[in-house]
Amino acid sequence: MDTVIITGGTGFIGSNLTQKLLAKGYSVVILTRNPDKFLSHTPALKYAGWDGKTALGWANLVNEARAIINLAGESIASTRWTAEKKTKILQSRIHAGNAIIDAIKKANHYPEVLIQASAIGYYGSRSESLTEISSPGLGFLPDVAIQWETSTKEAINFGIRHVIIRTGLVLGENDGFLKILIPVFKWYLGGYFGDGSQWMSWIHIEDEVNAIIHCLENNTIKGPINAVSPNPVQGKYFYKTLASALRRPCLFKIPEFAITLLLGQMAQELILSSQKVYPDVLLSTKFNFTYSNLYEALYSLLSKKSH
């Protein structure tokens, strides 16, 4: 039974990924700061303690692992970006990556592949179409993404295949971006930001998980991968489609200055930024999206919530 070590395995993407890996017959070890909080109901799932910064207490697990999937990192969307929050966002990612490299250096047997999380924030806000070969953008999120991706690149020196998953806006039923938006639209307060022309590159949680497993199992894939639907949409269309799936109106146009006043730099780089990103590598390696159409993706998640 192939073993996969996951950091950030108790989060939104990680928990969905874990269930799919278990269903496919993998053994999963989740590294967490609070292993006692979690109870495993299957021998194939174990929780191991780590401090998020070092290889202490878990480095020996690397010897048995086929893969390491590094999803660890402070949430970028939970609160306004203060100087302290920005430091936590960056350092949590760098420390996790450094810990993984330290564990690999201590190992007697190396994993086949290291899958490193990143985000399409790497590209910054720009108007042109973006693929995996596009250059990084400018701003806080591109800086974070560059250092995040670099934190585990040393794995290549040990003959380990290194994959970087640049994830877009992940749509899930009870978490991620929709968790914030659904109550607003349910209370008939939904709208769109700015003039609604900004491009939004999104992916259904099911496709996100399947894309990660596709990269795990396809040994020809290495380097950056854009985990986004092949059909990015503009903001006004996204929010109106969300309203339609919830059977609610999209009534309000929220001015840029208002959301910027409320959230500052976070508004400019996260909510108002424009990123028209395409998954060229996934498509070229025959990955099949279950949900490439936005309405179908949203309806699959929200149809039960529309009443």
**251 CA to centre of own chain:** 30
Block means of pLDDT (10 residues each) for the chain, 307 residues, are: 93 95 97 81 91 92 97 88 94 96 96 98 95 96 97 97 97 80 86 91 97 98 98 95 92 85 83 94 98 95 63
Residue 304 is predicted with a pLDDT of 55
The predicted model scores a pTM of 0.94
Q: Which residue has the tokens 């395409």?
A: 278
Q: Which fold has domain 3-171+202-230+276-290?
A: Rossmann fold (3.40.50)
How is the chain split into domains, by residue range? 3-171+202-230+276-290
Residue 306 is predicted with a pLDDT of 47
